[in-house]
Amino acid sequence: MFAPGFPGHGRRALLATATALAGIMLAANATPPLAGPAVAQPPAPLGRWSAEDGRALIDEIAASAGEGLDPADYQAGALAAELERSGGGGGADFDRMADAAALKLAHDYLLGAVEDKAAYDWHIARGDDDPTRLAAGLRQAVAAGTVRRWLRSLLPGDARYAALRTAYAETPEGNFILRGRLRANLERWRWMPRELGPDHIYVNVPSYTLQLVERGRTVAEHVVVVGAKATPTPAIGYAAQSVVLNPWWTPPKSIKVSGKGFVRDGATWRQPPGPRNALGRVKIDLPNPHAIYLHDTPVKVYFEKPSRAYSHGCIRVQDAERLAAELVKLDGGSDAAVTQGLKTYRTQTLKLREARPVWLVYFTVDVRADGQLQVLDDPYNRDTRLIAQLEKPVRLAMR
């Protein structure tokens, strides 16, 4: 769940994959030859897709507009025309067309329409991105006559996604700015794993806040400082494994140090614990290839600013000592261990018994705890480009 993100393959590759999968699925459903003497067989059915399932797919394609997607990307008109041409009986051509459209829609519901998520500094990997699993799911849904229900099940079930969808439906079409931002954030939610875990830490970068979630409920909230525009905080999901009291700090290569107040460790300068240590008194470690973690800071002034994008990428946490104590206590330990450990400047690592997922995400429209919609900053100016990408038409090869 917490592995680094995977590279996208582009929409052309996706469309080719969808078409190829449609052919594979047809082959998988072909009746194998019988051994022994020839046996009279009833006439082959016109196609796997019933007219009812075909119409259900067409209806769901129309409904995808409510998810911020473009129904034109899934060729509902061509499907309806082919169904009518066949006299409502479907057939092999309709099967191929329906397979391609349904697989594309299933992909976009489950994983989002945008393939190159890394272009938006989004590196949250998914364990359910195997196209063969989608093909198998579609095959089962067609056989059971539950195509539309199966497609709907692929969408995010999070209440925040539902709230954004409702807001999108209620926002007048003439309000292009808000509808565009809602559409971008619906897409980002489709990039998210379907389960965040009942116990986790959730940081939405544009909100400049951290939520500590226990058993699905926010039990604490902290103001944070996030990466500056030049050094943005990436969207990642990794597990917090330990709380480090009085940490050492190794500056990233982007920060030049003079050597004063630092200790040389081979070719690297390190800053020992102390009142001026850049990480403050606490570091919450979540090992990852991006070298991002949560930490305290000796410079508190930035917590008072309304827009708080000033760090080199890591998350600076206001009242980090309290967060550390909360984490240790929720992990079954004693917060006294944190209090005691902070009486000196000796480095101490408190390993968590249960690793806690930490989600660093980017939603410029969010939902507050009271259910109210909250339009936020776009500190890294990503919405305009994402909206433009969602508006590009897609040509789906269906034959």
Domain count, the chain: 2
The one catalytic residue among 200, 222, 312, 314: 314
In this model, does residue 154 exceed pLDDT 90? Answer: yes
Do residue 209 and residue 87 come from a single domain? no
**Which of 143, 171, 195 represents a domain boundary (last residue)?**
195
Beta bridge partners of 373: 367
Mean pLDDT of 109-127: 96
The residue-averaged pLDDT of 367-391 equals 93
Q: Say if 292 falls within a structural domain.
A: yes
**Residue 265, phi then psi, degrees to nearest 5:** -125, 90
Percent of the chain with pLDDT over 70: 88
Q: Specify if 57 maps to a domain.
A: yes
H or E, element range at 230: none
Whether 399 is in a domain gets the answer no
Contacts 24+ apart (CB under 8 A), 41-49: 46/86, 46/89, 46/90, 46/91, 46/92, 47/89, 47/90, 47/91, 47/92, 47/94, 47/95, 48/90, 48/95, 48/142, 48/143, 49/90, 49/94, 49/95, 49/98, 49/142
Q: What is the pLDDT of residue 87?
A: 76
Co-location of 81 and 116 in the same domain: yes
204 occurs within a structural domain: yes
pLDDT at 241: 97
| CA dist., res. 325 & res. 6, Å (int) | 35
Last residue of a domain, one of 137, 163, 195: 195
Residue 371 lies in a domain: no
- Mean of pLDDT over the chain: 88
Query: pLDDT tens digit string along 213-262?
Result: 999 999 999 999 999 999 999 999 999 999 999 999 998 877 877 778 89
pLDDT, tens digit (0-9, with 9 covering 90-100), for 320-377: 999 999 999 999 999 999 999 999 999 999 999 999 999 999 999 998 878 889 999 9
Q: pTM of the prediction?
A: 0.86
Residue 2 has pLDDT above 60, yes or no: no
Is residue 239 in a domain? yes
| Active-site residue (options: 107, 200, 295, 312) | 295
Selected residue with higher pLDDT from 392 and 26: 392
Segment 10-57, tens digit of pLDDT: 433 433 344 333 333 333 333 333 333 343 443 433 358 999 999 999
Same domain, residue pair 119 and 223: no
Domain shared by 186 and 262, yes or no: no
The residue from 171, 195, 219 where one domain ends is 195
Give just the sign of the alpha carbon dihedral 57, 58, 59, 62. positive
Q: How many CB atoms lie within 10 A of CB 274?
A: 11
Same domain flag for 208 and 304: yes
Q: How many CB atoms lie within 10 A of CB 256?
A: 7
**Are residues 209 and 137 both part of a single domain?**
no
Judge whether 295 counts as a catalytic residue. yes
**Strand residue runs (E) in 188-233:** 200-204, 209-214, 217-227
Active site residue 123: no
272 and 189 together in one domain? no
What pLDDT is stored for residue 399 in this prediction? Answer: 61
For the chain, what is the radius of gyration of the CA atoms? 26
In the chain, what's the furthest Cα-to-Cα distance?
91
Distance CA 114, CA 190 (A): 10
Q: Cα separation of 156 and 99, whole Å? A: 22
316 and 226 in one domain? Answer: yes
Same domain, 56 and 6: yes
Task: Answer for the pair 259, 270: CB distance below 8 angstroms, yes or no.
Answer: no
Write out the H or E segment, with its range, that includes residue 333. Answer: none
**Whether the predicted pLDDT of 398 surpasses 70:** no
Residue 145 shares a structural domain with residue 2: yes
In this structure, the answer to whether residues 223 and 346 fall within a common structural domain is: yes
**Residue 298: is its pLDDT beyond 60?**
yes
Contact 14, 115 (CB under 8 A): yes
DSSP SS3 for 212: strand
Are 185 and 208 within one domain?
A: no
The parent domain of residue 119 ranges over: 1-30+44-195
